[in-house]
Chain A
Amino acid sequence: MDMDDFGDDFKVPQRTVRKTYEIEYESLPQSAVERLVANDIDHISGIFGVEASAASLLLRYMNWNKERLIEKYMDNASAVTVAAGISPPSRASPSALGPDRSQGSSSGTRTSGFRRSARQTPAPPKAKPQPFVCPICFDDTQASFAALACDHTFCSGCWTAYITGKIREEGEHAIRCMAEGCALVAPDPFVRTALTDDPETWERFNELLVRHFVASNPNLKYCPYPSCTYTVSCPTAASKSALTTIVPIVTCGPDANPPHRFCFGCPIESDHRPVICSIAKMWLKKCRDDSETANWIKSNTKECSNCQSTIEKNGGCNHMTCKKCKHEFCWVCMGPWSEHGTAWYSCNRYDEKGGVDARDAQSKSRASLERYLHYYNRWANHEQSAKLSVELYAKTEKKMEEMQVTSNLTWIEVQFMKKAVDEVFKCRMTLKWTYAMAYYLEKGNEKELFEDNQRDLERAVEDLSELLESQIEPEIIPTLRQKVTDKTVYVSKRNEIMLEDTAKGFLEGRWQWNVPVEGFD
């Protein structure tokens, strides 16, 4: 595609060395995307020798896939022209619209024909029986009429109302002729003329076109933040296979605060580094699934063999007495306790095969649950801490003010506190996702190294958090400041190592999973 070539030309002189966990992308305002659209239209219009409006309809019909359009057009131009709603089937006889390029422009002439026909020119393009009455509104005072290439003529007022409705209510950019069953699509100049007095709807129409272009182009993605009109271009993350090695976290537009950060590869609207999309998705699904609740019930409870009440054994011996029906039974074999004779504290049927199997199944499920909970609790803890960051920010702000009062530090000099809180927040996000990753990592040296990095980062983060929570005494402020500043630098470095090493691992294919993961063999 053009755009890629264009991008490469300009991206050669890199300012700084990119980190492994960062990816190359470009944030584009709507005007830049509009230029990309115009480039594609110009390109096609040049190759086929058709008007820009026809090229636009052709591209929209083929979802902006230029290669396929060119291929199909060269194969059978008239069929594509009809399918795209540019000319009516009967008109698209090979003589008028052959694959021959010089003749291809004939469709262009017609396109310009119906542009003129609308509104400004009171006279319809073809002689209509006079007086002509619009078959929609039957208003015989209407004087201005318009029709697409199909010659289905209606008054300009009806066209405007119809086009406005399609754009405003249905969000439609391919606006078909009003006649029943007619597949012709209104070209842009026609729409523009109909919307002469309504620049807002014309604007909306263009926005719909840009959205369609972005949605059709795997290199582009709209910023998911409400009312943001920026688009991010990230060709490196456009293919599914690329997403097994990189985590394409991008930020749109330079102005937003906090920045609009989102993942280019999946719908998770937050930074899920260092974990790749498929693992992050799997983990979130697991956390959401009720199956874990069921798993817990399975691991921790049994049903009374008499009244079927669910019982959780939270301690004590195997001699159970159901609270509800007073049935006495053995927790191990589930048989009535009376059969256990005098062996009060051990079940003599413990070793029977059925009992052993049941026990195995239960302990397996319990072990897997415990494993999950280990990771989940830590994940949730960091999530929770991050959620409390709003509070922490407020608290920190207060402390910063306090410091200014009790010491002679300036506002600038107490910023170290805020910086530290920012860093803690960032690292907790990283830590959170490392637990999702660790849950799926296959046991082995690589996982151990991963968990070493994780442990170092976590320890550093907790140390810094504690420092931030400590009481402020005027005499310790200088030492506190030094400590916090040092720790912040250290934590930031640990975070860097964590992200960098994990990202490298993905590129090198170093990580092995304990479950099948999308995109891995």
Chain B
Amino acid sequence: MASISARRLRKELNEINVEGCPAGIKLLSADNFDTWLFSIEVLGESLYQGEVFKLMFRFDANYPISAPAVQFVVDETRGAPIHPHIYSNGHICASILGTEWSPVLSVSAVCVTLQSMLASCKVKERPVDNDRYVRTAPDNPKKTRFQYDGDTV
């Protein structure tokens, strides 16, 4: 019997294939049920006009009961968006990926939330503790206990 996470991801993938991703989001790869990659850009007026980012989802067997590990991919070709809640290593401090995660949320719901988080940004800057965090950050952002301080940006 397929595990809950596999069944659920197959269903989500199916939906993406049939209905397509939300505007500005493209599926780059979903070859297995461990890691999916998306490209994400903010459409319309924003501080990130013309910038395209790469988003990585990692799922464990407890998905969707537990949140996926989501981060921006930082490689030779692109970096993480400069945003007060996004660290330069691609880790994202967003409550819906932590304590506010709900099993009814989906991969595309997370994409849309992150997209609107970028769209509503008013100042392009790194989190204040960026250097300190990046120096000691775990590989998997889910291992970090973020303090969610304010949802204004």
**Residues on A facing B (Cβ under 8 Å):** 135-139, 152, 154, 157-158, 161-162, 165, 169, 178-182
Contacts and interface: CB of A to CB of B under 8 A. Distances in A.
A136 B103 contact: yes
11 contacts: A136-B4, A136-B8, A136-B104, A137-B7, A139-B4, A139-B7, A158-B65, A161-B65, A162-B65, A180-B102, A180-B105
Contact of A161 (B4, B102, B109): B4
Which among A138, A152, A165 has the greatest number of chain B C-beta atoms within 10 A? A138
A178 B8 contact: no
Interface in B12-54: none
Contact of A165 (B8, B11, B62, B109): B62
B130 interface: no
A138 B65 contact: no
Contacts of A182: 102
Contacts of A180: 102, 104-105, 109
B108 interface: no
B8 A138 contact: yes
Interface of B: 4, 7-8, 11, 62, 64-66, 102-105, 109
Contact of B103 (A139, A162, A181): A162
A164 to B, nearest CB: 9
A161 B11 CA distance: 19
Contacts of A181: 102
Contacts of A138: 7-8, 11
A169 B102 CA distance: 15
Contacts of B66: 165, 169
Given A136-B4, A139-B7, A152-B104, 17 more contacts: A135-B104, A136-B103, A137-B4, A137-B64, A138-B7, A138-B8, A138-B11, A161-B4, A161-B62, A162-B103, A165-B62, A165-B66, A169-B66, A178-B104, A180-B104, A180-B109, A182-B102
B4 to A, nearest CB: 5
A154 B104 CA distance: 10
Contacts of B102: 178-182
Nearest to B2: A139
Contacts of A157: 4
Nearest to B96: A180
Contacts of A169: 66
A178 B11 contact: no
A180 B11 CA distance: 19
Contact of B65 (A135, A139, A165, A179): A165
Nearest to A136: B103
A145 B103 CA distance: 15
B15 to A, nearest CB: 10
Which among B8, B11, B104 has the greatest number of chain A C-beta atoms within 10 A? B104
Nearest to A135: B104
The 7 closest A-B pairs by CB, nearest first: A180-B102, A137-B4, A136-B103, A138-B11, A161-B65, A178-B103, A162-B65
A264 B95 CA distance: 36
A137 B62 contact: no
B106 to A, nearest CB: 9
A180 B64 CA distance: 12
A161 B8 CA distance: 14
Given A161-B65, A165-B65, A179 B7 contact: no
A186 to B, nearest CB: 14
Contacts of B104: 135-136, 152, 178-180
